[in-house]
Structure 1
């Protein structure tokens, strides 16, 4: 039992080290990686080389598959190009396996010392991310040494041999075991390094180890398929195509394992190196076999997963990518784009609200109410997405942006509620009672409404640009709208004193609409506060000193 706990602890540490390397690279170079993948569509060879390079750094074909799948879902990359990238990614994921086949555990303390020192002494987010990579590499090497030391007694005892004996003659069972372990760990690298360790200690036979490696290659391609299972068919095609190519490669190779072993021994007699060479050779062979035929594979998966004939769900988020959560800069951009979409929906609601007061169309009320339901769902989705992002370690600037997006997102949702629960109820009451605004009163309401709509458009620009001059202009509009409401209210009271019939009959409606438009404008201008505070353009208090 103690032995199993030590091995499990080493494997867990190895998993954590792999994750730290991946998250460190994505935080430091996430945006550049995504731009590189998006641009790598000129031909199959450039796509293959891009996948190889990106995954050589990330050391996770799963992470690459999730990024490429999200691009495929948004039609930013063609399926054949995406499949070529994945073939390169599968080969790129073997780079670190080749490095770890050497005995480099001696460098682990150096990586850990340099990484921890750099992490604790730097405030720069990119330097801290690279320090994270060094710490991850140090932990990986330390974990391998732990597993090797813990596994030594297994070589002398019969327990593991008895457990693995049935798989020696049943390679399919070994492949299924390797696939299951890689799927559970979300990492083929961890499983393959563990297999290399066990085979180097002669705990596992070479042929059984090769079957486990084949299974791990399948398991790592199952993970992105499972994670995209509920996504749009276009987002699933590339991961499914990659799984098909790897499974076909395993089906072609597994029965040839006994004939492959002698050739691999001619290259190196070291068992760990033999397994590393087999892993690399397998992925190279799959790439050479399928790279000329990615168009055919793309046609097959497109036929298997046709575009959904159903209309697009307006309530479904379009920009909140799960694969971007490891890269805070990209995730914040995704959340901002979704918030901008909410803003566009609220703007459309606000513009049509005045049309309801003018025309009395009750069907338009139903349309605007449905749009408010969309705003509520998207507001919740953005909030949960940013909550998940904020659980990670963010630098001060990223943390501020999270708060800015959450605040503006909440204010947009409040505007939608004011439109739905206040303005539309007032419009419905006007229609029901047959009330009319005076010509002058209607002109005033339209003028104030137009100003508020213009301010919302300006607020969306301020939100995306962070421009201090635009923010100041928007803040000045808050005072202007307050003065406008007071001016129009006084004009309305004057018409009542003059005995204007329409003003007398619609007084409460008219004043409530003015008040709600002012409330909406207050929520709109809130986006300017953090920008003006950061530049020292906001006074702490409006109170005059005693």
Structure 2
């Protein structure tokens, strides 16, 4: 029992080390890896090469699969290109298995020591995240050494040969075991290294080890399919297409296991080398040999999983669950959904003037119902952001995470204000059949036009983070506040002149321009985090912008 526990602990340590490397690399290079993939999709061969490079760094073809599937879900790449990337990703995993199969145990203490020093002393910096990667590499090497040590005493057990004999007689059982291990560990690399170490110590026969390797590759593809089960059809097409290639590879390689043991294995220096080389050959065959079939498989998968016809008015969903495996990509998805939320708010705000001019109560009700969509979008984005691991985000991405949350809160509050404005227009204008004076209507129209302009500028500031535009946005807040005060005064003058329409709409007029000012304050607050992150001194800003930033805490509603 003690030896079995030691083996399980070593396996867990191997899986954990792989996880540390994968998450550490994504923290440091996540955005760059995404750019590298996006720029190399011109043809199938460059796409495959990018898949090799990304997977070699991340040490997980599953992570590359999730990243690539997310691109397809967002319409950034085609399905054949994504399948080509996955062909390279499988080779990348196999190459890393070859590297780790070498005797690198002497590097384990070096990696762990350097990694811990970097991680502790500079935890929040890039160096600290690189230290995390070193720790993971060191733990993987240490775990492989522990696997060998833990399996040696198990050979002396009289039960071991009986169990292995029963399993080794059935290739399908061997494949099933390998697949289950890959699904549970979520890493075919860790499983292949484990199988190689156990084969080296003769805990499992070579034939059984090769069958389990085939199973580990199937399990790797199946894990991605299960992970993407609730994603969009475009995303699931990638994982299913990748699974098709893996099944074809297993069907092709399984009959040659006996020939491999007879003719290839005697020429290799060790059993572990035979296992990882078999793993590499398998992936080269399904990658290089089958890369010409990506178009064919893509067409077949598209027929198997056809895209649903979009209903009129249906919108794309940008909050892709599969992108959560790559925090930088998940942040981009949240940004796109936040901008869609702002588009809905803009539609509501544009419709306000139509309701005022035409006394259109039906339109007012439709616009008020849109606030429910704004609220739902806010809840969805907020929940999506909470599922992004803050530990996996760099400093810049953490700021972006906070900016997105702040932006969506402001849009949700603007939606609430617009809903209240529409309700007031219905109650105080449409139902009473009154109208604004010509001067009052002109003032409201001008404020509304400024508001629409500022909302669009605010969306641009949120998307691009341009400091100069952020300054303009705060300057516009000062200008808008001055207009609001001037128009409130003008309205009071009209009241003193006993203007009938001004008297009939006085309450609504004052509330309306006050609410428009509040909306503008929410829009202007988009600029605050941009300017704060830029760390500009007041002397670098225009005077109005400097004053507004100093008043942010006290003036912002």
Shorter-normalised TM range: over 0.9
Tell me the residue number matched to 1:345. Answer: 344
Distance 2:317 2:8 in 1: 39
Q: 1:43 to 1:482 in 2, by over 3 A?
A: closer
Q: Deviations over 1:27-82 (max 9, x none)?
A: 22222222222223333222222222221222211111111111112222222222
SS at 1:204 equivalent = coil
Taking structure 1 as the reference length, the TM-score comes to 0.93
Q: 1:381 to 1:263 in 2, by over 3 A?
A: farther
| Mapped contact 2:63–2:325 kept (Cα < 8 A) | no
Q: Shift of the alpha carbon at 1:331?
A: 3.6
Q: 1:55 to 1:154 in 2, by over 3 A?
A: same
Tell me the residue number matched to 2:211. Answer: 211
Distance 2:313 2:239 in 1: 23
Tell me the residue number matched to 1:425. Answer: 423
Q: Deviations over 1:364-403 (max 9, x none)?
A: 2243234322222222222223223353154444333322
Q: 1:297 to 1:396 in 2, by over 3 A?
A: closer
Tell me the residue number matched to 2:543. Answer: none
Tell me the residue number matched to 1:20. Answer: 20
Q: Deviations over 1:188-212 (max 9, x none)?
A: 1111111112111111111111111
Tell me the residue number matched to 2:60. Answer: 60
Q: 1:390 to 1:218 in 2, by over 3 A?
A: closer
Q: Deviations over 1:144-196 (max 9, x none)?
A: 11222122221111334443433211111221121122112111111111111
Tell me the residue number matched to 1:7. Answer: 7
Distance 2:160 2:423 in 1: 73
Q: Deviations over 1:206-244 (max 9, x none)?
A: 111111111110010112212221222122212111101
Paired residues, number = 541
SS at 1:202 equivalent = coil
Distance 1:16 1:48 in 2: 27
Tell me the residue number matched to 2:502. Answer: 503
Alignment of 1:407-486 (within 5 A): 407-420=406-419, 422-429=420-427, 430-486=429-485
Deviates more, 1:23-32 or 1:300-309: 23-32
Tell me the residue number matched to 2:283. Answer: 283
Distance 1:191 1:264 in 2: 22
Distance 2:244 2:173 in 1: 19
| Mapped contact 1:37–1:50 kept (Cα < 8 A) | yes
Q: Deviations over 1:435-470 (max 9, x none)?
A: 221222111111111111111122222223333332
Q: 1:402 to 1:74 in 2, by over 3 A?
A: closer
2:372 paired with 1:373: yes
Q: Deviations over 1:483-518 (max 9, x none)?
A: 322222222222223222222222222221112111
Tell me the residue number matched to 1:535. Answer: 536
Alignment of 1:352-391 (within 5 A): 352-391=351-390
Deviates more, 1:376-385 or 1:241-250: 376-385
Q: 1:226 to 1:347 in 2, by over 3 A?
A: same
| Mapped contact 1:408–1:527 kept (Cα < 8 A) | yes
Q: Deviations over 1:306-351 (max 9, x none)?
A: 1111328857641x34454455444433333332222222122111
Q: Shift of the alpha carbon at 1:93?
A: 0.6
Q: 1:352 to 1:508 in 2, by over 3 A?
A: same
Taking structure 2 as the reference length, the TM-score comes to 0.91
Q: Shift of the alpha carbon at 1:115?
A: 1.8
Deviates more, 1:258-267 or 1:450-459: 258-267
Q: 1:398 to 1:242 in 2, by over 3 A?
A: closer
Distance 1:476 1:25 in 2: 41
Tell me the residue number matched to 2:170. Answer: 170
SS at 1:437 equivalent = coil
Tell me the residue number matched to 1:293. Answer: 293
In structure 1, list runs of 5 or more residues that go unmatched: none
| Mapped contact 1:28–1:125 kept (Cα < 8 A) | no
Tell me the residue number matched to 2:134. Answer: 134
Deviates more, 1:240-249 or 1:397-406: 397-406
Q: Shift of the alpha carbon at 1:479?
A: 2.8
Tell me the residue number matched to 1:84. Answer: 84
Distance 2:85 2:389 in 1: 31
Across the aligned residues of Structure 1 and Structure 2, the Cα RMSD in angstroms comes to: 2.3
